[in-house]
Copies of this chain bind each other. A is one copy, B any other.
């Protein structure tokens, strides 16, 4: 998951070697993401986007041949930002600690911290938004969205298996489910955080997930 707005200038410097003339397109995508997370895709009109960006409707259609192509571009952008963000956070976790378990636990702590300091009032996940409107989109976009979840699964599953080599866990751990819970937990935390308008919920959920991972691989010292 990436969280709109946050670190965007950093991203555009690192990820996109964007020729300056694509600024408008990027701006459309940025505004569109915020609008879609607030009202959904169908209720987000091209009219409001161009008003916010300051171009005409025809200008919009120069960049996207139709509204569906906007959706696809939004998803692609979101996925790229998302994976970049996770790479970055967990790389830093590993830099601080070269044991796979403890590096992961540090990464999760950094992750929780970052989620607690998001500048937006109500962060959200575009994948979740799209999944509750998926009849609006073509197979292309649905596949993209699916792949974004599978990327999370792969990322966390590989890490968990690496950890399991050094810390043989209790019997019968469902690694796939535990890997999926990383994404699931963030999705759920975002929803609760939005509904209750409480930004502390999401980071605390991530820390609970961290506890679960810890308890799964480490004997509890308190017992």
A positions within 8 Å CB-CB of B: 37-43, 124, 127-129, 131-136, 145-146, 148-150, 170-171, 174, 176-178, 180-181, 183-189, 191-192, 194-197, 201, 204-205, 207-208, 211-212, 215, 219-220, 222-223
Q: Is A195's CB under 8 angstroms from B40's CB?
A: no
Give the CA-CA distance A118 to B215 in the complex, in Å: 31
Q: Is A40's CB under 8 angstroms from B132's CB?
A: yes
Integer count of this chain's copies in the complex: 2
| B-side contacts of A132, CB under 8 Å | 37, 40, 124, 128-129, 132, 191, 194
| B-side contacts of A188, CB under 8 Å | 181, 183-189, 191
| B-side contacts of A149, CB under 8 Å | 192, 195-196
Give the CA-CA distance A211 to B213 in the complex, in Å: 11
Shortest CB distance A79–B (Å): 12
Contact A133:B43 (CB < 8 A) given known A183-B188, A205-B180, A222-B171: yes
